């Protein structure tokens, strides 16, 4: 970890983070608090960690299980996404991703029975998780946004007002010291040297998702559990919302949902979006603010 012009930067949750506090440095005790939380989040909820809650039900029988309050919060939001996408988004695809090769050992080779994966059925009510059998949860589609907001909360607790939390390309920004917004370029899906546009964040979150990274062979990490294959109709989504978690949820929902659901999703998360489709066209919500090139 280091603190330079790019702010306090470190690696966590499989990506590069940086925290910029406008016009000042992040104190050591604040750095430690941030790292402590993110490392704890990773240990508790990453499916790549054997002892995490996401992995705790890998060998479970059908039944009801009491889970931690924070995991229940995450799964409840995932349940909301599942409803908004008519079941196409489902964090229980962890087992499918493992079979396809995206496991803790990075096998990267699909198993012969990948197409035969059967999605576990699950339900969440407060802190009670009901399962019909073994399940591996992958909260990658919304966990980082939640984590970014929690880090922002830690910074506020330490008295910081003007900051930008960048969690590997997804962000939350307050304002700069002079009150002006943070100007963020949105990367064009699959073209790391090109911007699709610019948004200005002012106490808002930004999420950017595409299918060009975390890709192996004919697979990538955004999979449809009904076909047990990657999703190809959308190649990238960017969204701005009042916080990073809702922005992250918006991108995941838009990736997986039927187009008729788009307005509802934007309404639920008070968000605005750009959807890059596989035919080269782009759908932009009518409430979009910002430059597009």
- Residue 204 binding another protein, by CB under 8 A: no
- Residue 115 binding another protein, by CB under 8 A: no
- Residue 206 binding another protein, by CB under 8 A: yes
Minimum distance of another protein from residue 259's CB (angstroms): 4
Minimum distance of another protein from residue 251's CB (angstroms): 9
Q: With residue 216 as reference, give the H or E element that holds it.
A: strand 215-216
The CA distance from 220 to 236, in Å, is 12
Residues 6+ apart with CB under 8 A from 187: 169, 194, 195, 196, 208, 210
Which of 122, 146, 172, 188 touches another protein (CB under 8 A)?
Answer: 188
Q: Which of residues 251-290 bind another protein (CB under 8 A)?
A: 256, 258-260, 262-264, 274, 276-286, 288
229 CB burial (10 A radius; 0-12, 13-18, 19+): middle
Task: Supply the DSSP string of 30-49, one letter for each residue.
Answer: HHHHHHHHHHHHHHHH-TTS
- With CA atoms as reference, report the closest residue to 143 among 242, 40, 231: 40
- Residue 94 binding another protein, by CB under 8 A: no
Which of 65, 101, 134, 150 touches another protein (CB under 8 A)?
Answer: 101
Q: Which of residues 167-186 bind another protein (CB under 8 A)?
A: 167-171, 182-186
Minimum distance of another protein from residue 262's CB (angstroms): 7
The CA distance from 154 to 21, in Å, is 13
Per the CB < 8 A criterion, the answer to whether 237 and 271 are in contact is no
Size of the site for another protein (CB under 8 A): 73
Minimum distance of another protein from residue 35's CB (angstroms): 18
Minimum distance of another protein from residue 244's CB (angstroms): 11
């Amino acid at each position: 970890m280091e603190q330079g012009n790019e702010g306090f930067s470190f690696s966590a949750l499989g990506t590069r983070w940086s925290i910029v506090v406008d016009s000042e440095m992040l104190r050591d005790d604040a750095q430690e608090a941030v790292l402590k939380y993110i490392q704890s989040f990773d240990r508790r909820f990453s499916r790549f960690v054997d002892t995490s809650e996401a992995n705790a039900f890998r060998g479970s029988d059908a039944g009801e299980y009491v889970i931690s309050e924070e995991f229940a919060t995450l799964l409840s939001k995932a349940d909301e996404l599942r409803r908004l996408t008519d079941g196409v988004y489902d964090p229980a695809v962890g087992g499918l991703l493992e079979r396809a090769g995206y496991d803790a050992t990075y096998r990267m080779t699909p198993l012969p029975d990948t197409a035969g994966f059967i999605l576990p059925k699950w339900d969440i009510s407060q802190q009670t998780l009901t399962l019909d059998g073994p399940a591996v949860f992958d909260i990658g589609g919304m966990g980082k946004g939640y984590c970014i907001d929690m880090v922002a909360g830690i910074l506020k607790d330490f008295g910081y007002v003007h900051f930008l939390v960048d969690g590997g390309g997804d962000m939350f920004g307050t304002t700069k010291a002079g009150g002006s917004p943070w100007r963020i370029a949105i990367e064009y899906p699959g073209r790391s040297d090109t911007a699709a546009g610019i948004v200005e964040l002012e106490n808002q979150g930004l999420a950017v998702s595409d299918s060009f990274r975390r890709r192996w062979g004919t697979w990538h990490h955004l999979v449809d559990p009904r076909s047990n294959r990657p999703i190809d109709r959308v190649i990238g989504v960017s969204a701005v919302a009042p916080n990073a978690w809702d922005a992250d949820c918006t991108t995941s929902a838009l990736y997986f949902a039927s187009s008729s659901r788009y307005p509802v999703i934007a309404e639920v998360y008070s968000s605005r979006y750009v959807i890059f489709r596989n035919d080269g066209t782009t759908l932009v919500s009518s409430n979009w603010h910002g430059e597009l090139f």
